[in-house]
């Protein structure tokens, strides 16, 4: 059987939880064979392939991993703290370069200390540094140096989740009040 170019790398990356970014040659191959890969991942692993204009990733309805939760918490806290400083957090996440020291200062001085201290990925500077390494391996951030990074378009998955979560909460609250 003949598979599309980069097949092994595409499957390996997606199964490892990586986002395949539009800047990667594998993304073009994945996009050119969307039907094949959609069917392949559904029938083989019962995963859904989601391809956006600038990234692709897998979705599983049966997962016990906690990384997605930790990423949502990290991005949520970062956005909250940036907003508190009067910055447009959406512009910052999309365009700014972040420094580990700045992240440490924001989280160490956050009013959400209990949440941060109870999260093994965010509880201190060393844990955050390792967490950022995980985010880099998953293509959620690009490391510009050991202490500086930018977000890739993959951050949008977590923003969309937060937006949908908030809409659901607001809808539930609106229903209860009526």
Written as one string, the DSSP assignment of 143-174 is: ESSSSEEEE-TTHHHHHHHHHHHHHHHHHHHH
Looking at residue 170, its pLDDT comes to 60
Q: What is the pairing mode between strands 55-59 and 48-51?
A: antiparallel
Q: Which residues of the chain have pLDDT under 70?
A: 63-64, 169-170, 173-178
Round to whole Å and give the CA distance between 65 and 46: 16
DSSP 3: -
CB 79 within 8 A of CB 112: no
Q: What pLDDT does residue 167 have?
A: 80
pTM: 0.88
**Cβ atoms of 81 and 30 closer than 8 Å:** no
Position 174 scores a pLDDT of 61
Tokens (6 digits) for 82: 């940036």
pLDDT at 177: 43
Give Cα 39 distance to the centre of its chain: 24
Burial of 145 (0-12, 13-18, 19+ CB in 10 A): exposed
pLDDT at position 42 is: 97
């Amino acid at each position: 059987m003949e598979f599309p170019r980069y097949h092994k790398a595409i499957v390996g990356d997606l199964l490892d939880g990586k986002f395949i970014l539009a800047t990667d040659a594998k993304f073009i191959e994945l996009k050119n064979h969307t039907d094949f890969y959609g069917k392949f991942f559904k029938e083989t692993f019962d995963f859904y392939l989601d391809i956006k204009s600038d990234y692709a990733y897998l979705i599983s309805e049966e997962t016990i991993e906690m990384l997605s939760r930790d990423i949502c918490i990290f991005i949520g806290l970062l956005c909250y703290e940036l907003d508190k400083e009067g910055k447009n957090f959406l512009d910052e996440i999309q365009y700014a370069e972040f420094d580990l020291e700045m992240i440490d200062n924001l989280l160490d001085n956050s009013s959400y200390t209990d949440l941060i201290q109870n999260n093994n990925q965010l509880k201190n500077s060393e844990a955050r540094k390792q967490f950022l390494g995980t985010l880099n391996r998953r293509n959620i951030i690009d490391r510009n140096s050991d202490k500086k990074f930018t977000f890739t378009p993959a951050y949008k998955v977590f923003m969309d989740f937060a937006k949908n979560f908030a809409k659901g909460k607001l809808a539930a609250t609106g229903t209860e009040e009526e």
